[in-house]
Amino acid sequence: MDYLAYLAAFLMLIIGIPSIIMNSLIIYVFLKEKLHRTAFNVICFTRASINLYVTFFMFILIFTVDAILLESPYSKNFEFAIISSSMSLYIMNEFTTILVAINRFIAIFAPMFYSKYCGVKVTAFLVFLIFAYRAFRTFQDLTFYIGKECYLLFSVEYLTFFPYYNENCGGSDISSTLYATIIGFLIVSVLNIAIFSKIAMFVFQNRNIDKDAKNRQRKNTVLFFQTILQDSLVVFDMVFTFKLSGLWETRIWSLISYVLVWETIYMLDGLIMLMFNEQLSLIKKQLFASFPTITKKSMHEPSRSKVSTLPEVSG
Q: Is residue 53 part of a domain?
A: yes
CA distance 215 to 170: 56
| 3-state SS assignment for residue 157 | coil
Q: Is residue 147 part of a domain?
A: yes
Q: Kind and range of the H or E element at 218?
A: helix 211-242
For the stretch 60-97, pLDDT in tens is 999 999 999 999 999 999 999 999 999 999 989 888 98
Inform me whether the pLDDT recorded for 174 exceeds 70. Answer: no
Query: What band does 213 get if pLDDT is binned at 50, 70 and 90?
Result: low
CA angle 126, 275, 307 (to 5 degrees): 125
Residue 206: which CATH number?
Answer: 1.20.1070.10
Q: Is residue 309 part of a domain?
A: no
For the stretch 254-284, pLDDT in tens is 999 989 999 999 999 999 998 888 776 666 6
Give the predicted TM-score (pTM) of the model: 0.84
Compute CA distances 10 → 13, 15, 109, 282, whole Å.
5, 9, 47, 32
What is the phi/psi pair of residue 187, to 5°? -60, -45
Q: What is the pLDDT of residue 201?
A: 81
Inform me whether the pLDDT recorded for 55 exceeds 90. Answer: yes
Q: Is residue 13 part of a domain?
A: yes
Inform me whether the pLDDT recorded for 178 exceeds 60. Answer: yes
Q: Is residue 312 part of a domain?
A: no
Q: Is residue 82 part of a domain?
A: yes
Inform me whether the pLDDT recorded for 296 exceeds 70. Answer: no
The count of domains in the chain is 1
For the stretch 87-139, pLDDT in tens is 999 989 888 988 988 988 888 888 888 888 888 999 999 999 999 999 999 99
Q: Is residue 252 part of a domain?
A: yes
Q: Kind and range of the H or E element at 103?
A: helix 76-109
CA distance 287 to 280: 11
**Which of 101, 269, 109, 106 minimizes the C-alpha distance to 187?**
101
Q: What is the pLDDT of residue 298?
A: 42
Contact 57, 81 (CB under 8 A): no
Determine the structural domain holding residue 204 and report its residue range: 3-298
Q: What is the pLDDT of residue 181?
A: 75
Q: Is residue 303 part of a domain?
A: no
Compute CA distances 58 → 16, 63, 168, 211, 257, whole Å.
10, 6, 26, 47, 16
